[in-house]
Amino acid sequence: MTDAIYHRGPDDAGYWSDGEHGIALGHRRLAIIDLSPAGQQPMRSCSNRFVLVFNGEIYNHLDMRSELEASADVCGWRGRSDTETLLAGFDAWGIAATVERAIGMFAFAVWDREARVLTLGRDRVGEKPLYYGWQGRGDDAVFLFGSELKALRAHPACAADIDRAALCLQLRHSYVPAPHSIYRGIAKLPPGCLLTVSAGRPEPVLHTYWSAAQQWTAGAATPFAGTPAQAVDALDTLLSEAVGAQMMADVPLGAFLSGGVDSSAIVALMQARSTRPVQTFSIGFHEHGFDEAPHAKAVARHLGTDHTELYVTAAQARSVIPRLPSMYDEPFSDSSQIPTFLVSQLARRHVTVSLSGDAGDELFCGYTRYGFAAHLWKSISAAPLPVRRLAARGITRVPVASWNRLARTLGPCLPRAMRFANTGDKLHKGADIMASASLDAVYLGLVSHWDDPAALVIGGHEPHTLLRGAAPVLAGLGSVERMMALDTLTYLPDDILVKVDRAAMSVSLETRVPFLDHRVIEFAARLPLALKLRDGASKWALRQVLYRYVPQALIERPKMGFGVPIGDWLRGPLRDWAETLLAESRLRSEGFFAPALLRTRWREHLDGRRNWQYHLWDVLMFQSWLEQQASPHREAGDAALHCPAPPAVAAPCPLAT
């Protein structure tokens, strides 16, 4: 099981087992703090009561050590690792109280030898992954857990039965949201949760120790009452402290830099705290509209960082695709996974830890869809729902190709602001939104790919999620804040953080996200919307912090996504690859997708009648992943994997991570 996740910890391996009680713990180590043998895991507490395997970093662990020493609740230190600090806390304060004190990103499993209880824990927002579940039947049932599904799949008890309901969710969102996984009986531990299980109580018990939803609600109830200038000062201080704490490392450290607001702010604060140039990394593309490298280079030059950029060709970017199924371990189809891997690979050549600017959009109102959806809902909700649905049917009765022809004919007569690419696609999407009964339904439409995935998945059904049928209570939030909160609960942990973690850890690079210091999140939740969206500018307060370090002229430009031209590739160099995976005979043999619907969309995309790039990429990532499952030692549809082989280790694991 640990061999399967060798890439997450190539520096060391460790094992501990208790045959009498049927438990085994395994660990792969990526050494970041205390590189000595004193940091090896699994690690026992000083009292010998707790045995811990831990993935992540506790940024305030030295403060926790000081608190333990001041109260004489520690029997002496063997090393300098945060793992040992956690164990000392477990001995002194208990598991829950220790986790509530911790500031960091983490996933862990700790065995209480006295109570014979296993506890799993995950950080507040979900930076580090943790899967778990019972597999097998009767006396052969085994409780498995691990950082990636491939670790669980390595155990002979793991059935790896595909969950068609989870597949429906992936087609809608491009990811499988927690607590679901692509396998039946295997779940993701939700962020901010602890889970306990024991032989005497085999049904897992969940306990929430921190809730992003509650923080957004509390922020609306007690908003920041200071002046805009005071808000900017407070944010500058908080972010600076978070960045400083996350620069803790005994190995080389750097940062991703796109030249946008979020990454530039993180790098600026890093450089302000550093006595030497911070190492920064960006990648560039030759395709127009996808290249941010010049902007990153300008920011790096101003801040004086040690900047490395790499221009990659479209062919080099496409060469990553065969690696994606094994990298992401379950179907995942956010196409920005490709450049994310490339920049991670670049950074790993120079550093072991890289900070990123992720989460700035969700916390400080950076996505244009927030304002667009709120404005759209305000406009359409004035009309009765039956009238809107009638109008929507009228729009969708006209084929997309006909709308596109009309737009091309009228284009020269229209103002530039009203000329759109793929007019027909946008009108049909807009019609679906027009027929929505609530703001939540509008937002679901905007963030969905397949609107009815159960129509495509044979035998599939779509379970309720926080965006569909099980919305959280977010009292006191306005329209825009509600969408930001929903993204913090769903898109951020299940897409953005998954994308970055798997891409970076596939090359043994640790990533850290200063915006996800929970004190920054709690402050952002208290900031009134007027300090986030102000005078037409998004992320207003964050921009004011950044402009203290970087001239506004280097930052102000239209927002650019971190994507690749998937639609064009599918009509061109990826066409044969996609045709193989979408062949009708293959679809019928595999039995997951309704061939007629899928083949129709494939033909429409190839003919240029519709742009189904995201819908098709969702399916292709599942198909590619499915092929890799059938041949786990090969990259899907391509050559064999070329990875450094881990050392052979024989470790029977009745209960393992």
Annotated binding site for ATP: 283, 356-357
In the block, tokens 């992943």 appear at 625
Phi and psi torsions of 120, nearest 5°? -105, 145
Q: Which residues are annotated as a binding site?
A: 82, 283, 356-357
Q: From the centroid of its chain, how far is CA 381?
A: 33
Which residue from 456, 419, 451, 453 is spatially nearest to 435, judged by alpha carbons?
A: 451
DSSP at 578: H
Q: List Cβ neighbours of 148 (8 Å cut-off, separation of 6 or more).
A: 4, 5, 8, 129, 131, 329, 502
Number of other CB atoms surrounding residue 154 within 10 Å: 18
Which residue, 1, 126, 160, 56, is CA-closest to 499? Answer: 126
- Residues 15, 24 contacting (CB under 8 angstroms): yes
What is the DSSP secondary-structure string of 12-63? Answer: EEEEEEETTTTEEEEEEE---S--SGGG-SSEE-TTSSEEEEEEEEETTHHH
Tokens 């090969």 sit on residue: 634
User: Which one-letter amino acid corresponds to residue 506?
Assistant: S
Q: Are 50 and 91 in contact (CB under 8 A)?
A: yes
Q: How far is CA 4 from CA 396, 506, 519, 527, in A?
A: 48, 11, 35, 44
The rounded distance, in Å, linking the Cα atoms of 474 and 468 is 15
In whole angstroms, what is the distance from residue 396 CA to residue 257 CA?
Answer: 42
Whether cis (ω within 30° of 0) applies to the bond prior to 10 is no
Burial class (CB in 10 A: 0-12, 13-18, 19+), 123: buried
DSSP secondary structure string for all residues of 127-173: -S--EEEEES-GGG-EEEEESSHHHHHTSTT----B-HHHHHHHHHH
For 623, the token pair is: 């198909």
The four Cα atoms 589, 591, 592, 594 give a dihedral, to 10 degrees, of 90
Query: How many angstroms separate the Cα of 512 from the Cα of each of 21, 41, 239, 263, 504?
Result: 36, 21, 13, 12, 11
Name the binding residues for L-glutamine. Answer: 82
Which positions ≥6 away from 219 have C-beta within 8 Å?
A: 522, 524, 525, 526, 527
CA distance 550 to 299: 7
Instruction: Return left, alpha or beta for 454; rule: phi > 0 is left, psi -120 to 50 is alpha, else beta.
Output: alpha
